């Protein structure tokens, strides 16, 4: 069995950025899931629009999109990606 090769490591095992400037644009899809646990009265308030601070689900959706666009800021050696 051969050892896996990691493009972000040089021959000495040091981490480095990989030059991706010559790569073709590719279509990729990512799916994220989570489980949120809360009290039934909280679910009812969200569902019925009774949260004082506004539309909780819209804010969460925007936060998720913003987080995806900042992935390269939080994952080491990750290149910024165009997201549509």
What integer pLDDT is reported at residue 68 of this predicted model? 86
pLDDT at 75 over 90: no
Domain locations in the chain? 1-84
> 78 Cβ partners below 8 Å, 6+ apart?
71, 72
11-33 per-position pLDDT tens digit: 888 888 888 888 888 888 888 88
What per-residue string of b and e applies to 55-74 under the rule 16 or more CB within 10 Å gives b?
eeeeeeeeeeeeeeeeeeee
Distance CA 15, CA 77 (A): 8
Q: Which two tokens stand for residue 44?
A: 């009812």
41-74 pLDDT, tens digit per residue, is 999 999 999 999 899 999 999 998 898 888 889 8
Distance CA 49, CA 40 (A): 14
Per the document, the length of the chain is 84
């Amino acid at each position: 069995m051969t050892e896996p090769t990691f493009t972000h490591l040089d021959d000495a095992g040091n981490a480095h950025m990989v030059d991706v400037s010559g790569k073709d644009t590719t279509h990729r899809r990512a799916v994220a899931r989570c489980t949120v646990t809360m009290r039934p009265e909280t679910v009812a308030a969200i569902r019925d629009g009774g949260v004082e601070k506004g539309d909780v689900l819209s804010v969460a959706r925007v936060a998720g999109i913003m987080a995806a666009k900042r992935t390269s800021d939080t994952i080491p050696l990750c290149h910024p990606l165009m997201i549509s």
